[in-house]
Structure 1
Amino acid sequence: MTVATSQKLPLEWSVILYMASIHLVALLAFLPGNFSWEAVGVTFLLYWITGALGITLGFHRLISHRSFQAPKWLEYLLVFCGTLACQGGVIQWVGLHRMHHKYSDTAPDPHDSNLGFWWSHVGWMLHQIPADKDIPRYTQDICEDSFFKFCQTYMVPIQIILGLFLYFLGGWPFIIWGIFVRLVLVFHFTWFVNSATHKFGYQSHESNDNSRNCWWVALLTFGEGWHNNHHAYQYSARHGLAWWEIDITWMTIRFLQILGLAKNVKLAPTNESH
């Protein structure tokens, strides 16, 4: 796929309106009446639950790559947390991510970074891309799971229920900050893994693509920014391989391992002794 052909792909208007609405409502946070430190606190708590536990630990390292095994109840809890991030259902998310790794930075890659920063960051989601049709082929291990299908189907209603709960706790400031501001943060920080870490940073391993290790993305995404390491060893539960590459999610997995909740943890060869 070239830049020219990507521009000819039909627009996905439902996604465009969905993304635009979330970003526009988030701007209401700038109104003084919608601010409170409690609302900010709720935002960062939910950012950790949905971004760190849900997307990074659950959708990515556990489900997409099966870097470790966890009890089914914990797997479902992490998937539910990821569903609250509203980045698409778990089946769709995992399928597209697996395709990204198989075809990284080539034409079939859903967010090929060779098509530019905007495309890999958000543009690919605003079009009807060919990869959408191949999701079932890449999710055969999860597509029939009833809980996964429930989360895939009812992602938005689940978010609405969370919004009602936040309104009960703290009114509109909790909704604007805890739902909309938090979603914008989780969206863009996650998207930086697709865009910024294929443009900025250093390569410590040969991965046959543009993936880079980017410290500031790692800081924002609990260790996901060590992306070149990840592309070199996709199966590894640990992304920060050097001692100074801080990987909060790996620390979480180690904690779960100590508790007996993470087993068969896979590691890159350089970390097998850790």
Structure 2
Amino acid sequence: MAPPESTPILELEKMRKRGFWFRKWDSADITNLCLIIVRHVLGGCAPFVFDWGAFWVALVLLIFTGLGVTLGYHRLLTHRSFKIPKWLEYFFVYCGAHGGQKDPIFWVSVHKKHHKYADTEKDPHTPMEGFWFSHMGWFCHNQYIAAKCGESRSGEYSNVAELKAQWFYRFLHDTSIWHTVALAALLYLHGGFPYLAWGMGMRELVMNHFTFLVTSASHMWGQRPWNTPDTSTNNWWVAILTFGEGWHNNHHAFPKSARHGLELWQFDLTWELIKFLHMVGLATDVKVATEADKKRMALR
């Protein structure tokens, strides 16, 4: 009889043998896949119903929701790289909740596991499973994520107790899909199908693929100036597309740092916004990598 600790590994092997498509799909997997298909269909329709108003609305929403994920979900909630007033925290996080990447409890939990088990068997979106899986496949495999992380079900979220203790994040977790539906309805009522295609389809399509490049491309291609125990890389074009998240080797070397683009030429839009918030007194306790940290992590 296999010891208890081997059970997740055995379950993973069973899932691999069944493959990605020919497996048991739970309701969360089906919902995520349907949403991905819908946004791809809407995004594909967008160029054929081009409207300048819809384009500019989509661009503004892309900036706000993108910063909601990079500043709110990632650098604030996951790594606690700085502090801001609770009303401003909730604003950025709510913007991120419209990014098509699920609610903050799910997102932060998965990302914490990624850092804890980076590029190992337990990494929720390890590149060891291939580009497709690390880019997007993991997002539609709820039970696989749970098995990788040794949880009996993915809904436990045992590593984000601080978020589960707050009513706002519990509310978003329980109602996330309805916020997406409400935004889609508002866009459609305002400008019809072009606003829906651009404001929801094209925007979420672009944002999701750009974000997922951090979990795939930035663990496969790029430079590694820091001695990290994983395959994270600095990828300049991913950094441009993701408001600075593509300086991924920098981030894995100094995960608590609010600044990912450590060199002057490493553009990091999210860091520029954090600097501005600090300048006007809204951001405090901003953490950055020290010279001692850099010497410790430098490649010999």
TM over 0.5: yes
Instruction: Give aligned-pair identity as a percent.
Output: 41
Q: Aligned residue for 2:93?
A: 79
Q: How many residues get paired?
A: 269
Q: Aligned residue for 1:30?
A: 47
Amino acid at match of 2:102: G
Comparing 2-11 with 156-165, greater Cα deviation is found at 2-11
CA distance in 2, matches of 1:193, 1:101: 13
2:210 corresponds to 1:210: no
CA distance in 2, matches of 1:173, 1:105: 41
Q: Aligned residue for 2:32?
A: 15
- Indicate if the aligned counterparts of 1:199 and 1:210 stay in contact, CA closer than 8 A: yes
What aligned pairs does 1:105-254 form with structure 2 within 5 A after superposition?
Answer: 105-127=119-141, 128-129=143-144, 130=147, 131=149, 133=153, 135-254=156-275
CA distance in 2, matches of 1:36, 1:15: 28
Q: TM-score, normalised by structure 2?
A: 0.85
Comparing 204-213 with 34-43, greater Cα deviation is found at 34-43
2:54 corresponds to 1:39: yes
Amino acid at match of 1:156: I
**Which digits, 9 at most, give the CA deviation of each residue in 1:185-234, with x for residues without a partner?**
11111100100100111001011000000000000000000000000000
CA distance in 1, matches of 2:34, 2:170: 24
- Indicate if the aligned counterparts of 2:42 and 2:200 stay in contact, CA closer than 8 A: no
Note closer, same or farther for the CA distance 1:3–1:51 as it changes in structure 2 (3 Å cut). farther
Q: Aligned residue for 2:111?
A: 97
CA distance in 2, matches of 1:229, 1:113: 18
Comparing 231-240 with 7-16, greater Cα deviation is found at 7-16
Note closer, same or farther for the CA distance 1:40–1:7 as it changes in structure 2 (3 Å cut). farther
Q: Which runs of 5+ in 1 are unaligned?
A: none
**Which one has a bigger Cα radius of gyration?**
2
Amino acid at match of 2:32: V
Shift of 1:5: 4.8
Shift of 1:3: 8.2
- Indicate if the aligned counterparts of 2:80 and 2:256 stay in contact, CA closer than 8 A: yes
Q: Aligned residue for 2:63?
A: 48
Amino acid at match of 2:169: F
- Indicate if the aligned counterparts of 1:83 and 1:89 stay in contact, CA closer than 8 A: yes
Q: Aligned residue for 1:70?
A: 84
- Indicate if the aligned counterparts of 1:85 and 1:186 stay in contact, CA closer than 8 A: yes
CA distance in 2, matches of 1:44, 1:6: 39
Note closer, same or farther for the CA distance 1:80–1:14 as it changes in structure 2 (3 Å cut). same
- Indicate if the aligned counterparts of 2:38 and 2:201 stay in contact, CA closer than 8 A: no
- Indicate if the aligned counterparts of 2:78 and 2:108 stay in contact, CA closer than 8 A: yes
Q: TM-score, normalised by structure 1?
A: 0.93
Comparing 155-164 with 185-194, greater Cα deviation is found at 155-164
